[in-house]
């Protein structure tokens, strides 16, 4: 069997925590920040843990992830 490939977009945008959950960046922080509320920008700092339904989709594109 040939090796399965990991999606390039997924390996750039997501990574796994030690317990196997999927960590992602928070959206809507790139441009036009003056039009967004301060609370929204504050809560979008750092990263977030994906919900299980979304994490399953992402893990499907990472065949060798230790989840």
Global pTM? 0.82
Distances (CA, A) of 59 to 1, 2, 3, 24, 26: 20, 19, 16, 12, 18
Examine residue 49 and state whether it is found in any structural domain, yes or no: yes
Examine residue 67 and state whether it is found in any structural domain, yes or no: no
Tens digit of each residue's pLDDT, the chain (67 residues): 899 999 999 999 999 999 999 999 999 999 999 999 999 999 999 999 999 999 999 999 999 997 5
pLDDT at 56: 95
CATH at residue 15? 4.10.410.60
pLDDT at 1: 87
**What is the domain range of residue 27?**
8-60
Examine residue 44 and state whether it is found in any structural domain, yes or no: yes
pLDDT at 66: 78
pLDDT at 67: 59
């Amino acid at each position: 069997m040939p090796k399965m490939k990991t999606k390039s977009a997924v390996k750039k945008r997501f990574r796994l925590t030690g317990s196997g959950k999927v960590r992602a960046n928070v959206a809507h922080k790139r441009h036009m920040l003056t039009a967004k509320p301060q609370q929204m920008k504050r809560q979008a700092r750092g990263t977030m843990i994906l919900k299980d339904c979304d994490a399953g989709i992402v893990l499907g594109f990472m065949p060798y992830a230790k989840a």
